Amino acid sequence: MLRTCSECGATNRVPARHLTDTGRCGSCKAVLPPLATPIEATAEVFREVIQNARVPVLVDFWADWCGPCKMAAPEVEALAKEMAGRLVVLKVDTEREQEIAAQFRIQSIPNFIVFRKGQAVLQRSGAAPRSELRRWVESQSGT
């Protein structure tokens, strides 16, 4: 995964298993805090993160044309920030990543799946407030 340093703008390669760790920029040595924003996931990024993350992963399946998806997006972003270091959030555009959507039988969006240790442990469809999203993650992960 590539992360940009907020201090110097350098691009840093961070393995998926370290996305929730505090690190240092390879260029200026500034602190790289744990990931606190959702990642727009391609098929490659999806596989890498799901298989290697050491914390639960919340995947938001969405599409640009979906009104409820747009309403859920700020809640998903807030949850990623709130649970930085304890959760990785991926966003999968079902229009661009149709194979992933088909693999998990996504028929309505928004749709959320919580993964733990590479396995789907919870799947729910429909927009939900951040408190409910957090409860789903915590109920399946002990976070």
Q: Which residues are catalytic?
A: 66, 69
* Cβ(52)–Cβ(15) below 8 Å: yes
First and final CA of the chain: distance in angstroms? 23
Helices H / strands E in the chain, number of each: 4, 9
Residue 141 CA to its chain's centroid (Å): 15
* DSSP helix/strand/coil, 21: coil
* Cβ(62)–Cβ(72) below 8 Å: yes
